[in-house]
Amino acid sequence: MSSGYRQSLLDGLTQQELTLADDAIDRLLAYHGLLVKWNKAYNLTSVREPGAMISRHLLDSLAVLPYIQPASLLDVGTGPGLPGMVLALVQPELPVTLLDSNGKKTRFLTQIKMELGLTNVQVVHSRLEQWQPGHGFAQISSRAFATLAEMVAKSAHLLEPGGRFLAMKGHYPHDEIAALPPGYLLTAVHTLQVPGTEGARHLVELSAQPQ
């Protein structure tokens, strides 16, 4: 069955016009296998069917890959590592910090980091608004995490000057964009292609106006 998952992943990547090294594919499938295993006991994701996880989790996360810069990335409300762990698996040089307040999910991510020998990943178990690492991040990403206004309000202290917020959304979030607080600019909205899924997907890029 694992060969079927590999083919589904490869077919999806072809449709997304993404090319990944063989070892990156292997890491993604190892992560997928562990997610399937852990999800049975710890309810890490509402997606139960392993085949659906390929499209709804792996390919969905990889859809933002073209918009990720080679600079520090903080993934807030990462859950089981979406999109942050997936991005870290395919970009070993990308420094990724995964933050979530759910202990079961951060324990899973710590296990992934250990089993796959990832040196570019830091896992943080904390509430976003309470975490004070002492430095900022060039990119702050989120997937299905609060509204845009809530995201910037809770994580603004973690964005370094000139940094970007990257929020994964379903339909074009007209109302959320209109409700952004003063001081934040809409930089771009990208339409994402996620093979094997229904419904619209968008990536919203925001920046903070210089003080």
Residue ranges of domains in the chain: 2-208
How much is the pLDDT for 90?
A: 98
- Could you give the residue ranges of the DSSP H alpha helices within the chain? 2-16, 22-42, 50-53, 60-62, 84-90, 103-115, 148-155, 174-178
Return all residues near 33 (Cβ < 8 A) that are at least 6 apart.
Answer: 2
Residue 146 sits at φ, ψ, to 5 deg, of 55, -175
Candidate CATH numbers 3.40.50.150, 3.40.47.10, 3.40.50.170, 1.10.10.10; the one for domain 2-208 = 3.40.50.150
How much is the pLDDT for 44?
A: 87
**137 bridge partner residues:** 159
How much is the pLDDT for 41?
A: 87
Q: Please identify which residue in the block is written with the tokens 């973690």.
A: 158
Written as one letter, the residue type at 122 is Q
**142 bridge partner residues:** 76, 167
How much is the pLDDT for 58?
A: 97
How much is the pLDDT for 209?
A: 86
Spell out, as residue ranges, where the chain has pLDDT lower than 70.
1, 211
Residue 25 to residue 50: CA distance in whole angstroms: 16
How much is the pLDDT for 211?
A: 67
How much is the pLDDT for 205?
A: 98
Q: Burial letters for 99-119: b for 16+ Cβ neighbours within 10 Å, e otherwise?
A: bbbeeebbebbeebbeebebe
How much is the pLDDT for 43?
A: 83
How much is the pLDDT for 144?
A: 82
206: left (phi > 0), else alpha (psi -120 to 50), else beta? beta
Q: Please identify which residue in the block is written with the tokens 């990889």.
A: 62
